[in-house]
Chain A
Amino acid sequence: MLARIVFALMAAFCPLVIHAQEKLPAAEIVDRAQAAFYSAGADMKARVVMDLINADGKKRTRVLSMLRKNLPGGREQRYFLYFHEPGDVRRTAFLVWKYPEKDDDRWIFIPAVNMTRRIAARDSRSSFVGSDFSYEDISGRDLAADSHTVLREEKLGASACYVVQSTPKAAADFSRKLSWIDKTSWLPLKEEYYDAQNQLARVFTADKIEAISAGGKTYPTAVKRTMKNVQSGHRTEVVFESVSYDVGIPPEIFTERSLQQAPEKWIR
């Protein structure tokens, strides 16, 4: 869900790939999009700046370090998030152990009292730190939670895209979602969420895509992305700064120890 962007460079680099991918099943397309958007590389490190902007233009800012590691073999992931700003949440940290088919394990560290707590993860639609992104938007939605259909193929800007409709199988906070998935990078460049009345509720856009190299591989990355609530006018603009992949984050970083004492080396 996190992903969506405009990806022009990659198309120029490997135009041949596009023709090899015809008539893919919709679920396969969404699966690849999720892999490109949420799971690129063996691990990832970034500094994330989130601007929460209301309809009047009033802005609030959250700055955090994000570390992510994919576990070998499966789709399990570990996240470590450490807040630098604003001041009243400084040093607050989240640890998430994400599983594909059951509730995540989530812990929060509250620095004022040096306390580590498990937090309920049932409703992954809850807002992530007051932004327009939900927890699910940050770490991905189960592929099997929705039925996926390819509606059409069309260009979004300069990028050839699949337009996929995803309909939740169980009650969700959207009735359907349209995703423009770039045929080259597999990143979602745009997503539209419709509410129960089938009115457009939220729009995601990948505003800037960069090809980030690591160890001979290149990972197209949406380094600027926006989620806008078109009904309230509130939007959240996210910039991923200094993104790096395959940096060898040790597994023990994703434990309670890091909550208690943040691993300086990895969050600077």
Chain B
Amino acid sequence: MRLASALTVLAILWPGNLGAEEKNRLPVTIHGFLMGNASVRMTGKRPLMGEGGAFVLGEERLRLDASGATKSGNGFLLIKGDIFHDAVANRVDGDLREAYAGFRGSRFDLRLGRQIVTWGVGDLFFINDVFPKDWESFFSGRPMEYLKRGVDAVRLQYSSDALNVDVVATPFFTADALPSPKRFFLYNPFAAVAEQRQHTPPVRAENTEVALRLYRRIAGLDVSLYGHHGFWRMPGANMDSDNGTPRISRFYPRLVTWGASAQRNLLDGIVSFEGGRYNSLDDRGGAAPGVPNSQWRVLAAYQRQLARELTATFQGYVEAMESYNSYRNSLPAGFRAEDRVRGVFSVRLTQFLSYQNWRLSAFIACSPTDSDCFAQPEVSHRLSDKSQIRFLSTWALSARRPAARSAARTRERAPLAAIASPTVTVEHVYPPSGPSPGTAA
């Protein structure tokens, strides 16, 4: 459905519909890369009924990226996708990352099709970036770009000195891609329930997600206001029975978010703040056990260069649940309660060496409320302009034993307890050097 819709939009917007003069001058350039990824478990433990043995990830990917613009530059398109062989599942498949056509006006920019949208100021803490993520990619060690999933959307942007407006309307719901139990250790309190159903929001006018960002500079400060009307991207669950047979229905509860961010040069570095409210429309009172409660989320961050080619980013993140008493009172027996407030601190260090041919980086996040830590050290080396190799290791340490939690939450956090996997990525970039047709004067 998503692929079909994206292709339909592209077909409509294909620059064949542009003026004849411009059509003749549409240079399309094709780029791409070959990439291999492999992640190996270091704990020696494997999920029951899992696939891949010692491997969480083993794949080869071919990226093809075609882009073009009209002579004026006002009409443009981009198609970017991977063909990959997944050695763990032993299948060959495709992944259309982005496919959009666009138009640039004097003040308006329009884009239709599949596109990746990233908002907010956090580094791996998402408050007002309500767009879908691929957590399985992230935890299995693929490069960071695979954390973001495209949305099949219409995006309209207006730019002026007084105010910039960015609106993304998405008729086709895209959920977060969550780690699969075939590759990750997941706690599923409903594993014994035979009948499980999944409902995604059908394509209907009232289900179109709308996200809005207003932004401008005020006194050296980059200020953004955000709003979003749509759905949680991790499913909630309802349990009922069908003639006495227990049944689990998973669905994506409705969600409205709004928030703000601000960022500026300060204290010899960059100071950022972001906050947002998550209004869980299907659980206003907080008494529905299978639907996340409404929340407040707040982030503060500080980035500075500690030395030449060495940058550090410190973040503090707090998430507070509303209607906590209702939540506690409605929690089914056997489930351990979430804390009312979750806090996480993180540090990212990035060091470039040897004319930036080597990049060392480490992201470490610890939560005093959850008593766990997550770390991803990474080394990447550029062998040439066309080839690089990357080694990344993912660590999760928890002082708590896994215990029953609400369904949605469990999925969000359980993988952390199971992974310690180095990933090796080898990437080779095409095409050969030299001006490409699309960029030549």
> Could you list which residues of chain A lie within 8 angstroms of chain B, going by C-beta atoms?
47, 52, 54, 60-61, 63, 84-88, 90, 102-103, 105, 112-115, 117-123, 125-127, 129-132, 173, 234, 242, 252, 255-257, 260-261, 263-265, 267-268
Contact = CB atoms under 8 A, between A and B. Distances in A.
Interface in B350-403: 352, 355-357, 382, 384-386, 388
B55 interface: no
Nearest to A107: B222
Contacts of B357: 130
Interface string B92-116: 0000000000101000010000011
A256 B217 CA distance: 10
A87 B118 contact: no
A126 B305 contact: yes
B72 A123 contact: no
Contact of A114 (B72, B115, B356, B441): B115
Contact of B118 (A60, A114, A265): A114
Q: Rank and list the top 10 A-B pairs by shortest CB-CB distance, nearest first.
A: A264-B73, A130-B356, A112-B145, A87-B429, A86-B385, A115-B118, A123-B305, A257-B159, A265-B73, A130-B355
B69 interface: yes
A178 B98 CA distance: 51
B144 A268 contact: no
B263 interface: yes
B341 interface: no
B243 interface: no
25 contacts: A60-B384, A84-B435, A85-B385, A86-B386, A87-B33, A87-B385, A90-B31, A102-B265, A105-B220, A112-B144, A112-B145, A113-B116, A113-B145, A117-B121, A118-B222, A118-B263, A119-B270, A120-B305, A123-B305, A125-B308, A127-B355, A132-B355, A173-B308, A263-B104, A265-B73
A234 to B, nearest CB: 6
- Name the residue in A130, A173, A267 with the highest tally of chain B Cβ atoms < 10 Å from its Cβ: A130
B159 A120 contact: no
A120 B303 contact: yes
Contacts of B356: 127, 129-130
A87 B429 CA distance: 6
B269 interface: yes
A120 B270 CA distance: 6
A40 to B, nearest CB: 21
A184 B72 CA distance: 40
A78 to B, nearest CB: 13
Contact of B439 (A84, A120, A132): A84
A105 B265 contact: yes
Contact of A126 (B104, B215, B309): B309
A131 B355 contact: yes
A61 B109 contact: no
Contacts of A61: 385, 433
Contacts of A87: 31, 33, 385-386, 429-431
Nearest to B387: A88
Contact of B269 (A86, A122, A132, A173): A122
A234 B355 CA distance: 9
Contact of B307 (A63, A114, A123, A242): A123
A112 B263 CA distance: 22
A47 B441 CA distance: 10
Interface string B52-86: 00000000000000000100111010000000000
Contact of B304 (A122, A132, A261): A122
Nearest to B158: A257
B297 interface: no
Given A113-B116, A123-B305, 5 more contacts: A60-B382, A120-B303, A129-B356, A255-B159, A256-B164
B308 A123 contact: yes
Contacts of A47: 441
A268 B386 CA distance: 23
Nearest to B161: A252
- Name the residue in B31, B439, B441 with the highest tally of chain A Cβ atoms < 10 Å from its Cβ: B439
A129 B356 CA distance: 7
Contacts of A252: 159, 161
B304 to A, nearest CB: 5
Contacts of B104: 261, 263-264
A113 B386 contact: no
Contacts of A123: 305, 307-308
Contacts of A113: 116, 118, 144-145, 147-148
A237 to B, nearest CB: 14
B268 interface: yes
Interface string B413-441: 00000000000000101110101100111
A131 B429 CA distance: 20
A88 B33 contact: yes
- Name the residue in B109, B264, B356 with the highest tally of chain A Cβ atoms < 10 Å from its Cβ: B356
A123 B43 CA distance: 41
Contacts of A86: 385-386, 429, 433
B388 A103 contact: no
Contacts of B121: 117
B69 A264 contact: yes
B162 to A, nearest CB: 12
Contacts of A260: 109, 157
Contacts of A84: 435-436, 439
Contacts of A242: 441
A132 B355 CA distance: 8
Contact of B305 (A117, A122, A131, A267): A122
A103 B31 contact: no
Contacts of A131: 355
- Name the residue in B31, B116, B121, B270 with the highest tally of chain A Cβ atoms < 10 Å from its Cβ: B270
Contacts of B220: 105
B5 interface: no
Contacts of A119: 270, 303
A119 B429 CA distance: 26
Contact of B441 (A52, A63, A115, A268): A268
Nearest to B106: A252
A257 B144 contact: no
A61 B355 CA distance: 12
A114 B305 contact: no
B433 A265 contact: no
B249 interface: no
Nearest to A47: B441
